[in-house]
Amino acid sequence: MKNSAKYAKKLNTLLRKLPAGKPRREPESDDYLGVLIHSFMLWESTSSKAATAYGKLQSAIEDYNELRVSMPDEIVDWMGDSSEHADERARRLRATLNAIYLREHDVVLAAVAQLKKAEIREYVESLEGIVPFVSARVLAICFDIHAMPADSQLLDLLEESEAIEPGTSSDEASRWMTRQLSSDQGEAAISKMQTWVDTESRRIVQSRQRREKASQKQADQRMKERRKERAADAKQRRAEREEAARKRAAKAAAKAEAARKAEERKAAKLKEAEKAAREKAKKKAAKK
């Protein structure tokens, strides 16, 4: 990241100003699968919506294996998720649970705790379907491994606060914040930033909608202008074709007129020659 030091300073200043995080209803840190699933519910959402979706999901299934083999549309229905991320959330969650099953022959993560921290990080981050936000939360909450979760909502807020380089991806932001903040800051920072997102989520959505509306308006205007340009170009080309046709017709008419006049001159010369021949013949006859 360019100007990393500048943004790091602003990030730390921002964290000092943010209010302390609020207590939230979340799975216990030793409930690895619970934290993972809840983190998927929280990704691109809010704490209250995530808690509701997680509760509905737990009530709808017998165990996590049932969740693993369920279809994405069933998972969406169980979550009661009507957001734009609902289908992707369900598909990613299902893919991650299947990835765990393929590795463990069961939907469990207990054995992962026996690995070294670097191995745990590699294990979690390489799970199919998982996003940086979810993997970072699982690492931090379940395994006490320093990691900072980031989704697009947090990125919007950080960009507004000029605490991160514009255009940074969620994965880049997660890794960058993990490097810039100490492990001692991690837990409080995660809580503060989630509370910040929860507080600003509605405004973020409205701001995005306004930007999308403005962007669509600009796109429509550009399309309208292109249509006008194409219509003007077509009119110009039509006028040029008509002018070219007029010139060809005029040239053909001039050529025809020239040919007619040439024929007239030829006929006149022939007539004069015939007249001269007759006069010559008369004179010759008169001499005899």
Q: Is 229 part of a structural domain of the chain?
A: no
Check whether 22 has a pLDDT greater than 90.
no
In tens, the pLDDT along 42-69 reads 999 999 999 999 999 999 999 999 999 9
| DSSP secondary structure letter of residue 85 | T
| DSSP secondary structure letter of residue 20 | P
CATH of the domain at 94: 1.10.340.30
Q: Is 230 part of a structural domain of the chain?
A: no
What is the average pLDDT across 266-270? 89
| Residues 122, 135: Cα–Cα separation, whole Å | 10
In tens, the pLDDT along 231-243 reads 899 999 999 999 9
Binned at pLDDT 50, 70 and 90, residue 99 comes out as very high
Helix (H, G, I), strand (E, B) or coil at 283: helix
Q: Is 58 part of a structural domain of the chain?
A: yes
**Tokens read off for 17:** 């100003």
Dihedral (C-alpha) 23, 27, 28, 33: value to the nearest 10 degrees? -150
In tens, the pLDDT along 160-201 reads 999 999 999 999 999 999 999 999 999 999 999 999 999 999
Q: Is 274 part of a structural domain of the chain?
A: no
Task: With beta carbons less than 8 A apart as the criterion, state whether 32 and 139 touch.
Answer: no
Range in 191-200, 201-210, 247-256 with the lowest mean pLDDT? 201-210
Q: Is 227 part of a structural domain of the chain?
A: no
Q: Is 182 part of a structural domain of the chain?
A: yes
Binned at pLDDT 50, 70 and 90, residue 138 comes out as very high
Domain count, the chain: 1
DSSP 210-245: HHHHHHHHHHHHHHHHHHHHHHHHHHHHHHHHHHHH
Q: Share the mean pLDDT of the chain.
A: 92
Give the per-residue pLDDT at 283: 80
Whether the model pTM is above 0.95: no
Burial of 125 (0-12, 13-18, 19+ CB in 10 A): middle
Domain range for 139? 4-214
Q: Is 52 part of a structural domain of the chain?
A: yes
Q: Is 236 part of a structural domain of the chain?
A: no
